[in-house]
Amino acid sequence: MASPVALITGSARGIGREVARTLAARGWTVVASARTLEAARAVAEEEGGEGKSFVPLELDVERQGSVQDAAHHVQALGMKLDVLINNAAHFETGWTQPLFDKTMNVNFYGPVHTMRAFSPLLVDGGRIVNVASWFGQLHQISQPYRDAVTSCNSIEELISNIKFNAMDGDMRATAHSCYKLSKACLIRATGFAAQDPDLVQRNIKVFAVCPGWVRTQMGGPSATRSVPEGAASVLALVDPKEEHVSGGFYRDGKPMSID
């Protein structure tokens, strides 16, 4: 039987790298993507021991053209994906228009673009795993943004209605507020994607996961979890169980509140 195939964004380091390593060790074919082909090739070279199968792929989630090119490349290789893992993210503190644009591009619009570009390449019964965060729970953002996110009824509405408001004092005073908002949008978009008629008809499930606070470049050395522990939380939804409901938000395979 052919090995299952996973595509991971941001696989050159951190949790994405660990998920790539683990799946390859389990016999999966891993489409290891990174912002540059050199970085993706380095993953394949450094992790690709005997019997392990890596396909390096250039994919900068911030650039829609890069996402499209990457999807065309995978299609041209004749590959089908069992799982798409939207792992890449940008994490920086501040509340400015440029940081809002950058963070929403990488953490929210990027995963939306990859879901759309790669879903035709997913097998029936495939999965999409969006790596979110407890920072994306609604209590992490200001009341006006909570209202804005919860009143949106589609991914398109999230994209067009969630705008930067320089005057939002709570967001100005909150650390990592752009990141928190982007992950709140990603969690809500996961719920909408799970209802997409094409995905439902093809039995493709869509999950949001939180890896916990992990000792990566993003999480820093004081984080409570090792990289394998964080990756395990993502991997729990790569092979979901009966109780994992499409559109849900999970940590360590257990439901998390979106509030």
Ligand X SMILES: NC(=O)c1ccc[n+]([C@@H]2O[C@H](COP(=O)([O-])OP(=O)(O)OC[C@H]3O[C@@H](n4cnc5c(N)ncnc54)[C@H](OP(=O)(O)O)[C@@H]3O)[C@@H](O)[C@H]2O)c1
Q: Which residues bind ligand X (CB under 6 A)?
A: 9-10, 12-16, 34-35, 39, 60-62, 87-90, 106, 131, 133, 210-211, 213-214, 216-219, 223
Given phi > 0 = left and psi -120 to 50 = alpha, else beta, which region is 124? Answer: beta
Least distance (Å) between residue 24 CB and ligand X: 16
- Cα separation, 6 vs 126, in Å, equals 10
Least distance (Å) between residue 252 CB and ligand X: 13
Question: Quick one: 55 or 106, whose CB is closer to ligand X?
Answer: 106
Least distance (Å) between residue 173 CB and ligand X: 21
Which residues, in sequence order, are bridge partners of residue 58? 34
Per the structure block, which two tokens stand in for 237?
A: 């939804």
Least distance (Å) between residue 21 CB and ligand X: 12
Least distance (Å) between residue 152 CB and ligand X: 21
Strands annotated E in the chain: 5-8, 29-34, 53-58, 81-86, 122-131, 205-209, 249-251, 254-255
Q: Which long-range contacts (CB under 8 A, 24 or more apart) does 248-254 make?
A: 248/207, 248/208, 249/132, 249/187, 249/190, 249/207, 249/208, 249/209, 249/210, 250/207, 250/208, 250/209, 250/210, 251/134, 251/209, 251/210, 251/211, 251/212, 252/212
Least distance (Å) between residue 61 CB and ligand X: 4
